[in-house]
A and B are shown apart, each in its own frame.
Chain A
Amino acid sequence: MSVTLWLLALVPVAALIRFVGIPDDTPHQTKPFLRQIFDGLCYTILRFLHLAFAVNKSFQSWVQMTLLQNEADVHDLLLSDRPALVEERMELEIFLLSLPQRPEHFAVVLPDGHTDDIVDDVEALCAWSGMAKIPRLTVYTRDGRLKDSADAIEARLRKSKIISRAYDNKPPSIILDLGTHHAKRHITSPGNHPLHVSLWSREDGFPALVELSRSLAKQVSTGTLSAKSIDETMVASLLKDPFGFAHPELLLLYDDLLCIPEFPPWQLQNTEVYQIGQGSVKSLGDAVVRALGSYAKIEKRWGK
Chain B
Amino acid sequence: MSQQSEFIFALSTTVFLAYVVLVGTHSKHSAMPLQKHCRKLCSQASKIFRKFLVHILQQGPIPKHVAFIMDGNRRFARKSHQVTTSGHVAGFHKLANVLEWCNDLGIKHVSVFAFAINNFNRSEEEVSALMHLAKDKLKELADNSELVRYHGARIRIVGNKALLPSEVRQVMDYAEKTTQDNKGMTLNVCFPYSSTDEMTSAIRALIDDAESGKLQESKISEGALESRLQIPGPDLDILVRTSGQIRFSNFMLWQSSKMAYIQFIDVYWPEFSLFHMLSIMISWQCAYLGIEKKKQTVAECARPCMLSASVSDDETCCSEREAA
Which residues of chain A have a CB within 8 Å of any CB of chain B?
1-2, 5-6, 9, 16-17, 19-21, 24, 39, 42-43, 45-46, 49-50, 53-54, 57, 112-113, 142-145, 147-148, 181, 201-203, 205-207, 209-214, 216-218, 220-221, 227, 230-232, 235-236, 256-266, 268-275, 294, 298, 302-304
Once A207-B311, A265-B253, A266-B253 are accepted as A-B contacts, the answer to whether A259 and B206 lie under 8 Å apart by CB is: no
Report, nearest first, the 9 A-B pairs whose CB atoms are least far apart.
A144-B315, A303-B118, A265-B253, A43-B59, A207-B311, A20-B51, A265-B257, A269-B250, A143-B318
Let me know if A53 and B283 touch, CB within 8 A.
yes
Assess whether B315 is in contact with A203, with CB atoms less than 8 Å apart.
Answer: yes
| B171 CB–A CB distance under 8 Å | no
Contacts of B302 in A (CB 8 A): 202, 206
A-B contact sample (12 more), CB < 8 A, given A6-B11, A294-B246: A46-B57, A50-B286, A112-B297, A144-B318, A207-B305, A217-B207, A217-B217, A230-B207, A231-B200, A265-B256, A268-B248, A273-B264
Q: Min CB distance, A24 to chain B, in Å?
A: 7
Q: Is the CB of B217 within 8 A of A218?
A: yes
Q: Is the CB of A265 within 8 A of B261?
A: no
B4 near A2: Cβ-Cβ < 8 Å: yes
- B309 interfacial contact with A, CB 8 Å: yes
**Contacts of B175-224 to chain A: CB distance below 8 A:** 194-197, 199-200, 203-204, 206-208, 210-211, 217, 220-222
A298 close to B245 (CB less than 8 A):
yes
Query: Which of B's residues lie within 8 Å of A, judged by CB?
Result: 3-4, 7-8, 11, 48, 51-52, 55-60, 116-122, 194-197, 199-200, 203-204, 206-208, 210-211, 217, 220-222, 225, 245-250, 253-254, 256-264, 279, 282-283, 285-287, 290-291, 294, 297-298, 301-302, 305, 309, 311-312, 314-316, 318-319, 322
Closest B residue, CB atoms, query A145: B319
| A-chain residues with CB within 8 Å of residue B315 when the two chains form the complex | 143-144, 147-148, 201-203
B322 touches A221 (CB 8 A): no
Partner of B55, one of A42, A210, A257: A42
Q: In angstroms, how far is the closest chain B Cβ from the Cβ of A235?
A: 5
Q: How far is the CA of A211 from the CA of B206 in the complex (A)?
A: 12
Instruction: Determine the distance from Cα of A302 to Cα of B249 in the docked complex, in whole angstroms.
Output: 8
C-alpha spacing A272/B324, complex, angstroms: 34
Q: Closest Cβ of chain B: how far from A198's Cβ, in Å? A: 15
- A69–B262 alpha-carbon span in the complex (Å): 29
Complex Cα–Cα for A57 and B290 (A):
16
Complex CA gap A105/B319 in Å reads 27
Residues of B within 8 A of A264 (CB): 257
Q: How far is the CA of A263 from the CA of B119 in the complex (A)?
A: 26
Contact partner of B199 (CB less than 8 A), chosen from A209, A260, A303, is A209
Q: A20-B52, A142-B318, A294-B246 are in contact. Are A227 and B286 (CB under 8 A)?
A: no
**Closest Cβ–Cβ distance, residue B125 to chain A (whole Å):** 13
Residue pair B225, A232 in contact (C-beta under 8 Å): no
Please give, as numbers and ranges, the residues of chain A lying within 8 Å of B221 by CB-CB distance. 210
Whole-angstrom distance between the alpha carbons of A50 and B197 in the complex? 39
In contact, B291 and A262 (Cβ under 8 angstroms): no
Work out how many contacts link A and B, with CB atoms closer than 8 A: 226
User: Please, how many angstroms separate the alpha-carbon atoms of A105 and B11 in the complex?
Assistant: 69
**In the complex the two chains form, is A1's CB within 8 Å of B4's CB?**
yes
Q: Which of A54, A231, A235, A263 contacts B286 (CB 8 A)?
A: A54
Known: A42-B55, A235-B196, A303-B118. A260 touches B8 (CB 8 A): no
Q: Are B263 and A46 in contact (CB under 8 A)?
A: no
**Cβ of B217 and Cβ of A214 under 8 Å apart?**
yes
**Are A258 and B287 in contact, CB atoms less than 8 angstroms apart?**
yes
- Where chain B touches its partner, the secondary structure class is helix
When distances are taken between beta carbons in the complex, the residues of chain A under 8 Å from B248 are 268-269, 271, 273
Contact B56 A269 (CB under 8 A): no
Chain A residue at minimal CB-CB distance from B221? A210
Partner of B48, one of A20, A50, A227, A261: A20
With contacts A262-B259, A263-B257, A303-B122 taken as known, whether A9 is within 8 angstroms of B8 at the C-beta atoms is: yes
Q: Are A260 and B318 in contact (CB under 8 A)?
A: no
Q: Find out whether the CB atom of A304 lies under 8 angstroms from the CB atom of B246.
A: no
CA distance A210 to B207 in the complex (A): 11
Indicate if the CB atoms of B52 and A24 lie closer than 8 Å: no
Cα distance, A144 to B262, chains bound together (Å): 23
The residues of B that contact A181 with a CB separation of less than 8 Å are: 312
CA distance A20 to B120 in the complex (A): 45
Which residues of chain B have C-beta atoms less than 8 A from A145's C-beta? 319, 322
Known contacts: A113-B322, A230-B204, A303-B118. The answer to whether A210 contacts B199 by CB under 8 A is: no
**Chain A residues within 8 Å of B311, by CB:** 203, 207, 210-211
Q: Are B256 and A213 in contact (CB under 8 A)?
A: no
Q: Does the CB pair A213–B220 fall under 8 Å? A: yes
Shortest CB–CB separation between residue B44 and chain A, in angstroms?
10
Which B residues lie within 8 Å of A303 (CB)?
Answer: 116-122, 249
